[in-house]
Structure 1
């Protein structure tokens, strides 16, 4: 069985995950990154294609008739024409729920950064401000407790549930906004605008769909408190970046913490690059070592299941 891995660097740029597990499954060709015009050539006569962001289109599948299986190093599968793959008998399998703990952890790294202001105080200390303080304790930058604050979670999949659970452990009031009524949800469930109005923290953990594209826009932001913070670790397309930059600049909301942008890598002309009180990380919430190792484990388990005739996590 020939396996082509088209963008291994998106999973393993630091080289800390061995390819041994993949090599046990067949004749593996590791390609660090693949440009669109190289896709068909890099696949060649492979039976199995593994990728993260590479587009597997109708044209690519027609040019590579040996493809029998496409495995994704991701939960999303919008880069694959799954309907055409089904017509050609090509199984497409994704890797779900591998990053739940990591993304929830980063969400609270953002929240704690904002409420405890550790970075600000570390800078103050290194600048000698504490040394010049007339009192033993120096706290010119306001901090706040999480207990009693309202955490509004948009999306109630595995990550949304974990974020709500952690917030509840901090004593926060949890509000959920999701497109379907969840079963046995222990928290208040309401519509998006009400969730935004109540939120001290509004955090997004929903998929990017036609209905969620640009959902963080001028109208939604106008419903938020001037003291509220917004978090997006879902997909960059959920946010209208110009509207968010305007809201931050005018003080309509207090802060935004983003791990994803509409264009990645970040475009130098994104309106959020120099936006006031906007913290941006380069799509790292999913990237702890343990999380990436789990991802590779799931991808390999998916291949084994498919080979055995019982495909797992099949999306088409």
Structure 2
């Protein structure tokens, strides 16, 4: 009987975990696991399932029985892939499970900004509508999407799906080339051109060592003062201090972020400053529709069954 351990099952609340209950496996689930609990909980386990729990070289070296790590996410930066490969441990992730959820959330953030939903809601709560001299309240100008340039950085599955929604609103999609590219692929524009021409800039690329603070004081300066920034990808893509300054100095019209560089953020995180204008935050939930979370578990079960059959499915390393 194999031991299988889900270390942070509370990251997927309300999801049916029965697909993980495979013949020949004993499933152990924990709502959360901190670093001091990992060695004991994973002792004797052949399969570990994690969402954001960090499995580094130090902990992997203590787990000789571990053969498979399933990450219930696409990002695998919480796993030391090199150490896993050296130990002969396969690492599998989930992919494209949120192709509907993330683009939907991205457009919800954009519409909230352009249609001024929060300013109008706050105005109504203050009683401004009740005091209006006419039937409506027109204190906050609404911006129409049709005809705007929607620049996409990262044109994988999520970038493509979000771009399709932007086109449905009548927006012109610009696909950014990689920042360090020497040649521009057909159908794309240079990274700088994508920023300079953007009315809306949307991030959809994974976090890597090379793209940390991809948007910083310099590159944010390439955006038009009336541009809007969306990030449903990874928080490390943006220099938080630089973005806060750009918004405060009105160098950028607004931003809506589902991710930050520290999660959960410290109370004094620079982007939690209530004095920042036109900043909309959501707590890393773009991926978290019930349907997407169930698809995530179903893919994880598929990865485990494939491994049992000595096949590779969504494998991220080569031991």
Residue 138 to residue 294, structure 1, CA distance change in 2 (3 Å)? same
Q: Which residue of 2 aligns with 1:141?
A: 140
**SS across alignment from 1:37:** coil
Q: Which residue of 2 aligns with 1:23?
A: 21
Instruction: Please state if 1:279 is matched with 2:280.
Output: yes
In structure 2, C-alpha distance between the alignment counterparts of 1:246 and 1:189, rounded to whole Å: 30
Q: Which residue of 2 aligns with 1:55?
A: 54
Q: Which residue of 1 aligns with 2:165?
A: 166
Q: Is the 8 A contact 2:4 2:26 kept in 1?
A: yes
Q: Which residue of 2 aligns with 1:108?
A: 107
Q: Which residue of 1 aligns with 2:304?
A: 303
Bigger drift between 112-121 and 196-205 goes to 112-121
Q: For residues 71-86 of structure 1, what are the structure 2 equivalents within 5 Å?
A: 71-86=70-85
Q: Is the 8 A contact 2:16 2:294 kept in 1?
A: no
TM-superposed CA distance for 1:143, in Å, is 0.4
In structure 1, C-alpha distance between the alignment counterparts of 2:20 and 2:261, rounded to whole Å: 32
Q: Deviations over 1:264-289 (max 9, x none)?
A: 10111211111222111111111111
Q: Which residue of 2 aligns with 1:132?
A: 131
TM-superposed CA distance for 1:32, in Å, is 1.1
TM-score after normalising by structure 2:
0.92
Q: Which residue of 2 aligns with 1:223?
A: 222
Q: Is the 8 A contact 1:92 1:315 kept in 2?
A: yes
TM-superposed CA distance for 1:126, in Å, is 4.1
Structure 2, unpaired ranges of 5+: none
In structure 2, C-alpha distance between the alignment counterparts of 1:178 and 1:192, rounded to whole Å: 5
Q: Is the 8 A contact 2:113 2:278 kept in 1?
A: no
In structure 2, C-alpha distance between the alignment counterparts of 1:240 and 1:84, rounded to whole Å: 29
**Residue-pair matches, total:** 310
Question: RCO higher in 1 or 2 (8 Å CA, sep ≥ 6)?
Answer: 2
Q: Deviations over 1:118-137 (max 9, x none)?
A: 33333333443333333333
Structure 1, unpaired ranges of 5+: none
Q: Which residue of 2 aligns with 1:246?
A: 245
TM-superposed CA distance for 1:182, in Å, is 9.4
In structure 2, C-alpha distance between the alignment counterparts of 1:128 and 1:81, rounded to whole Å: 54
In structure 1, C-alpha distance between the alignment counterparts of 2:234 and 2:135, rounded to whole Å: 44
In structure 2, C-alpha distance between the alignment counterparts of 1:227 and 1:5, rounded to whole Å: 45
Q: CA RMSD in A?
A: 1.7
Q: Deviations over 1:197-240 (max 9, x none)?
A: 11111111111112210011011111111111111111111111
In structure 1, C-alpha distance between the alignment counterparts of 2:64 and 2:209, rounded to whole Å: 32
Q: Which residue of 1 aligns with 2:37?
A: 38
**SS across alignment from 2:114:** helix
Q: Is the 8 A contact 2:46 2:65 kept in 1?
A: yes
Bigger drift between 23-32 and 280-289 goes to 23-32
